[in-house]
Amino acid sequence: MEPSNIYGDRIALDPARARFDYIVVGAGSAGCIVAARLSENPAIRVLLVEAGGSDRSPMISMPAALPFTYQSKKLGWGYESGPEPELGGRMIDEKRGRVIGGTSSINAMIFNRGNPMDFDGWAEGGLPGWDYAHCLPYFRKMETFADGANEWRGGDGPMFISRCKAEHKLFDVFLRSGEQAGHEVASDHNGYRQEGVHIAQAFVHKGLRWTSARGYLHPVRDRENLEVLSRAHVNKVVIENGAATGIEISKGGNTRTVTCNREIILCAGAFNSPQLLMLSGIGDADDLRKHGIALKAHVPAVGRNLENHPGVNLQYATRYEDSLVSQLNLFGQAKLAVDWAVRKKGLGASNFFEAGAFLRTRPDVAFPNMQFEFLPLTRQVKNGKLVAIPGFQFWMDLSRPESRGAVTLRSADPAAPPSIVFNHLDSPQDVQDFIDGVRLARDMIHQPIWDKYRGTELTPGADVRTDADVERFVRANLGTSYHPSGTCRMGADDEAVVDAEARVKAVRRIRVVDASIMPRIVTANLSAAIMMMAEKISDSILGKPALAPSNAPYYRAPDKSAREQISSIKQR
């Protein structure tokens, strides 16, 4: 059942309800937080608009149902990127949530903040208030970590973070292989030290997927000053005399304009936020002219600087009884469903991505440029369906890619998907990092502890040995971790779309708060950093003083030890 204030047409029927101070577009990882925080002040009226519908579904709530949420056409936008020029013109699925909770309602629930040096890099680029010392207090504010609070972790925030149980034996084999290969085991990769192999952490609490909607929006759904309009498509931001005054929405075949007194806040994501700006007349003048859109502000950078984490799978066969697949036969699936339905425990409470690593493929990077996620099974597409088979796999993606793409308009029709092209592997360094990453993964997989379990290498395959072989494999099989960012970049320079407080520079009374404003993609899954940004910018909107900066230290690898370790791997 929908919460009482997720309504149909009340703002159309009751003009008194249509007067808002802030309109937040997109009820995803950032939008739920911004709407909840702004509406803490009862004198502020907030409208939160979401294109999708309710998140009250067992498929969303059960962590193990992740494959079904990813594949659901009802819950996603159905976007594809491409044709990708460096991948033979291939198209690549890009999963984005179209539902209350946004992508936090369909993603893999992996909780990774990013490396502290990510945020220090933002500060060095001209955003001093976004260094790690100023971001860490907001990471702590947003979370309740299952292991308790300390100088790096929070203990009373709305987002509950658990440490994965990782009970299957192959998770321990993965960790031990990392140690045998010379890598450290990070006791908390979201604390002092990110680099190394680790047991994963997840947005899972008491067996439930813990989304931004569950953490922030549902507890405040009865606030009189907060309205949530679901299944409503925002066509554009209305701009008059250089300032945003409202939004045009379509719902149930009807179109109308809703106005606001203070600001429009776009939290629609790295694809839809730049698309909305362009549909509203904010973008490159020549591109907008082609689509017959009246220019409001010439901002060529809108939609550019698109980043992602491209990746590939390394898959190995193993005996049936040694793989998690042995617990997912018909009996195991029934047991999983019953155990989760009754107790919210067992495999149904797992996202399966319960171990991973942040590692470096070369010595001239200051911190990890490759992320690994380990699964004690393999998944392949057979007859058009994703099926699990006995084995294990390493998903590996580039955490620090150099290639850049763009989001542009296909047409002036707000219902048309934007054009998304990442230009994956446009940079020769990205290609080399993948080649070295495959070597790094194989080095771990060929450690002695795997000898008992390791079967045939399924992908890339034993015949893929040379750099040229690996490059061909990567180009043919490259996918992504669904981490788009950077298309409305935040910065102090003239090319940045928004300033340090997320305000669009060219037009008054409009902000963007989502992954699109990241100056550089973080070395991690994006959800945690997006939520931190939403908390921090909400304080700024409300005029609150920023939380006091932290002095918690963080790990910096000695250059010599890193160089020696990587050199050793390349010689094997």
> Rounded mean pLDDT of the chain?
94
One-letter identity of residue 476 = A
Domain with residue 180: its CATH number is 3.50.50.60
Counting the structural domains of the chain, the total is 1
Interval 47-91: pLDDT, tens? 999 999 999 999 999 999 999 999 899 999 999 999 999 999 999
DSSP 410: S
- Report d(CA 302, CA 496) in Å as an integer: 9
Least confident range of 112-121, 311-320, 380-389, 519-528? 380-389
- Report d(CA 170, CA 322) in Å as an integer: 8
Task: Give the three-class secondary structure for 205.
Answer: strand
Which pLDDT belongs to residue 299?
98
- Report d(CA 83, CA 364) in Å as an integer: 32
Residue scoring higher pLDDT (388 or 440): 440
Interval 420-429: pLDDT, tens? 999 999 999 9
Task: Please report whether residue 403 resides in a domain.
Answer: yes
Task: Please report whether residue 548 resides in a domain.
Answer: no
- Report d(CA 381, CA 80) in Å as an integer: 18
Question: According to DSSP H, which parts of 143-255 are helical?
Answer: 169-180, 212
Span 405-425, average pLDDT: 98
Task: Report the chain's terminal Cα–Cα distance, integer Å.
Answer: 58
Task: Please report whether residue 555 resides in a domain.
Answer: no
Residue scoring higher pLDDT (116 or 3): 116
Q: pTM to 2 decimals?
A: 0.95
Which pLDDT belongs to residue 9?
41
Joined together, the tokens standing for residue 337 give 């469903």
Catalytic residue flag (residue 483): yes
pLDDT at 479 over 80: yes
571: pLDDT confidence band, cut at 50, 70 and 90? Answer: very low
Place of tokens 């992908």: 459
Task: Please report whether residue 427 resides in a domain.
Answer: yes
Which pLDDT belongs to residue 263?
98
Task: Please report whether residue 565 resides in a domain.
Answer: no
Which pLDDT belongs to residue 558?
79
pLDDT at 564 over 60: no
> Considering the chain, what percentage of its residues have pLDDT values greater than 70?
94
Span 121-133, average pLDDT: 98
Span 509-532, average pLDDT: 98
Cα torsion for 209, 213, 214, 216, to the nearest 10°? 130
Task: Please report whether residue 249 resides in a domain.
Answer: yes
Burial letters 507-543, b for 16+ CB under 10 A, else e: bebbbbbbbbbbbbbbbbbbbbbbbbbbbbbbbbbee
* Residue 92 lies in domain: 6-541
Task: Please report whether residue 238 resides in a domain.
Answer: yes
Q: Are strands 226-229 and 6-7 parallel, antiparallel or unpaired?
A: parallel
- Report d(CA 268, CA 407) in Å as an integer: 13
Joined together, the tokens standing for residue 48 give 């939160």
Burial letters 390-417, b for 16+ CB under 10 A, else e: bbbbbbbbbbbbebebbbbbeeeebeeb
Task: Please report whether residue 364 resides in a domain.
Answer: yes
- Report d(CA 198, CA 527) in Å as an integer: 19
Span 346-359, average pLDDT: 97
